Amino acid sequence: MPDAEQSNMTILRMNRTGLRLLLVWLFAAGVSFTEASSAATGADTLPPQVADINQAVEQVWRDYEIQPAPEADDAVWCRRVYLDIIGRIPTYDELTEFTGDRSAEKRAELVETLLYDDRYTEEYAQHWSNVWTNLLIGRSGGNDDDDMTSREGMQKYLRDSFARNKTYDQIVYELVTAVGSTTPGTPNFNGAVNFLVNKVNEEDATLATSSTSRIFLGQQVQCTQCHNHPFNQWKQQKFWEFNAFFRQTRALRRFVPGTDDVAYMELINEDFAGEINDPEDALIFYELRNGLQKVAYPVFTDGTEIGRSGFLEDVNRRDELGRLMLQSEYLDKMLVNRMWSMFLGHGFTRPIDDLGPHNPPSHPVLMDSLAAEFRENSYDLKKLITWITLSRPYQLAAILGPNNEIDDPAIGETPKFSRFYLRQMSAEQLYASLVTAADAKTGGTYEEQEEQRRRWLQQFVVAFGTDEGDEATTFNGSIPQALMLFNGDLIKNAIRTTPGSFLDRLSQTGRSPQERVTRLFQAGLARRPTKKEVQVAGQLLYARKNDEKEMLQDLWWAILNSNEFIMQH
């Protein structure tokens, strides 16, 4: 038996760990994978905000005497920015178009294309609608029978808003002040009502209070419902003053004519008589822990009072709240902190939605200046995304090296952004990426596809059943996720070899098996295979008795199951 063949046989009989040992030995020889790439962000024409970010971040590197990771190569960066801006990996064609581009400003150009080119508008809107739907109503919102939210309505509103690039202040104002019905196709439909519709009726709208203040202003007030907060300046009084803004609001059931079936919900404002039935002076009561009753009227977090009347024609409390929120500096800071953490893996504070003197940010000047720039640029989300994705920290490779070893937020260090932090894709990103990997739509109408997607996503959500709508996701690199990737329908679909499938079409391109293997790695991992990986492909081909499609199938299965595929890096 020739040597090569013998070594093939050995590897194929070998178990996983044995193979790993072999690899450790082979890697000791030192193989380099990253191709050198030039800084392709076109430094001369960058917006000034990018320079501000770079300066602030580099200052911290100097302070801590750390060297940042090298720049990520073009292909890896391309994959990264597709995932972050439109929520999926690039196709093989999109990737090679970018890597083959000789322009000095191609990174800036790609960001611009993903944000502004009509071809990507739908996916951009879908991705950001996914992100904000989960923030506003949770992963389980609208999926439960007794939940009055229409997830579909929420997503429609957000998709439309992001597709039209509505400014952030407008979106917030609309969400906070919305009236209308929850469900598309019903009279007075206004999808924005779905943020609050399930949060106002029960327990005097305490959920509306804590969600609105946390999500948009970064103020954690849920503890102050019952007592003064132990760590921040929020007092029980302030909680109920904020709460008073929501007390003119009700969610009403609208029935299918002639039946008891709820067709949809409608969120309305109505006159509020207060708790002693005096609408001119519509006060509310709350209880101190010792049982004493205290009085509250609507007062914003900064102390601004509005009229005490509960009559809508005198004061529309939620309209006033929306107006006051747009004046708050916390609105800007919260959004900037959120977006930064979504692109860079960590925010300036931990948790990101708990702002205030009790929780100092890692880069205070940068957070403030970005917040100010965001406001001055009319709350344009696409501009903010442009600044962040073209900034230096976003260009860095995901490598923890000897010169930035202390930059490890996973073990409790404050983030220095001297490398790109590895993170799991969201369930939504993984779904969309697997669909991309299969290079096929899942079939059916938009509604059917949405339903399929929703069922797939739901399997990873566990609701805790508390009054704050807490929930967890088991989608985090756990065994159920691994099982899903090993054996689930999406994977089966992605690795099909039937005529017209991705692998079938791939097998008809290129000049050699090796070239096709290379394409497979680029499509899934945005890099070329290593020598060892090419070798294993050869061994698999031998094991599959030279059936190349079967070999490609095995390899594609391995690629889609790898951490390198399921992580943003």
Partner 1 sequence: MQFMKTPAGMTRRHFVSHLAGSTAAASAAWQLGGTIQANAEEMRKKRKSAILLWMGGGPATIDIWDLKPGAPTGGPFRPISTTGNMQITEHMPMVAQQMHHLSVVRSMSTREADHQRGRYYMHTGFVPNPNIEHPSYGSVVAHELFDQRPELEIPPFVTVGGAGAGPGFLGMAWSPFAVTSNGRVRNLQMKLDDQRLMQRMAALNLIEEGFSSRTRDLPASEHAKVLDKTFDLMTSDQMEAFRVEKEPEEVKERYGTSNFGQGCLLARRLVEAGVPFVEVDLGGWDNHQGIHTILRDQKLPELDRAMSALVEDLAVRELIDDTVVIWMGEFGRTPRINQNAGRDHFARAWSCVVGGGNLNGGLAVGETSRDGTSVETEPFSSEDLMTTVCKGLGISTEKTFTSKNGRPMKIAGGGKLIRELIA
Binders of partner 1 in range 396-455 (CB under 8 A): 398-401, 408, 410-413, 421-424
H-helix or E-strand spanning residue 424:
strand 423-424
**Which residue number, 135 or 422, has a Cβ lying nearer to partner 1?**
422
Q: Looking at this protein, which amino acid is placed at residue 299?
A: V
CA pair distance 60, 150, nearest whole angstrom: 45
Residue from 4, 5, 6, 27 binding partner 1 (CB under 8 A): 27
Site for partner 1 in 182-211 (CB under 8 A): 203
Burial of 426 by CB count in 10 Å (0-12 exposed, 13-18 middle, 19+ buried)? buried
Instruction: Indicate which single residue of 254, 532, 538, 549 sits in contact with partner 1 (rule: CB under 8 A).
Output: 532
Cα 139 from Cα 56, distance rounded (Å): 35
Residues 467 to 526: which contact partner 1 by CB under 8 A? 467-468, 470-474, 476-480, 482-484, 486-488, 525
Tell me the closest approach of the beta carbon of residue 371 to partner 1, in angstroms: 21
Question: How near is the Cβ of 375 to partner 1 at its closest, in Å?
Answer: 27
Among positions 270-289, residues that touch partner 1 (CB under 8 A) are 287, 289
Please identify, using beta-carbon distances, which residue of 105 and 468 lies nearer to partner 1: 468
In the range 288-347, which residues lie near partner 1 by CB under 8 A?
A: 289, 291
Q: How many residues line the site for partner 1 (CB under 8 A)? A: 82
Q: Are 182 and 194 in contact (CB under 8 A)?
A: yes
**According to CB under 8 A, which one of 5, 33, 185, 547 is a site residue for partner 1?**
33
One-letter identity of residue 441? K
CA gap 344, 388 in Å, rounded: 9
When the beta carbons of 62 and 289 are compared against partner 1, the nearer one is: 289
Are the C-beta atoms of 152 and 142 separated by less than 8 Å? yes
Please identify, among the stretches 44-52, 118-126, 224-232, 437-445, the one whose residues bind partner 1 according to the rule CB under 8 A: 224-232
From 189, 47, 165, 157, select the one nearest 105 (Cα to Cα).
47
- Which region, judged by CB under 8 A, interacts with partner 1, from 94-102, 310-318, 373-381, 464-472? 464-472
Query: Rule CB under 8 A: is residue 569 a binding residue for partner 1?
Result: yes
- Residue-wise DSSP of 107-174: HHHHHHHHHH-HHHHHHHHHHHHHHHHHHHHTTTTT-STT----HHHHHHHHHHHHHTT--HHHHHHH
Task: By CB under 8 A, name the one of 39, 270, 462, 510 that touches partner 1.
Answer: 462
Query: By three-state DSSP, how is residue 305 classified?
Result: strand
Output the smallest distance, CB 521 to partner 1, in A: 9
| Separation of alpha carbons 569 and 398, rounded Å | 6
**362 DSSP assignment:** S
Secondary structure of residue 268 in the 3-state scheme: strand
Amino acid (one-letter) located at 25: W
Nearer to partner 1, 124 or 565 (CB): 565
By CB under 8 A, name the one of 19, 51, 163, 263 that touches partner 1: 19
Q: How far is the CB of 135 from partner 1 (least distance, A)?
A: 16
Minimum Å gap between C-beta 472 and partner 1 is 4
- Whose Cβ is closer to partner 1: residue 158's or residue 334's? 334
Spell out the long-range contacts of 440-444 with Cβ–Cβ below 8 A and sequence spacing 24 or more: 440/493, 440/501, 440/502, 442/493
For residue 132, what are the CA distances in angstroms to 13, 164, 219, 384, 429?
A: 49, 15, 18, 16, 14
Q: Does residue number 9 form part of the binding site for partner 1 (CB under 8 A)?
A: no
Token pair listed for 279:
């609408």
Residues 126-165 interacting with partner 1 (rule: CB under 8 A):
none
534 binds partner 1 (CB under 8 A): no
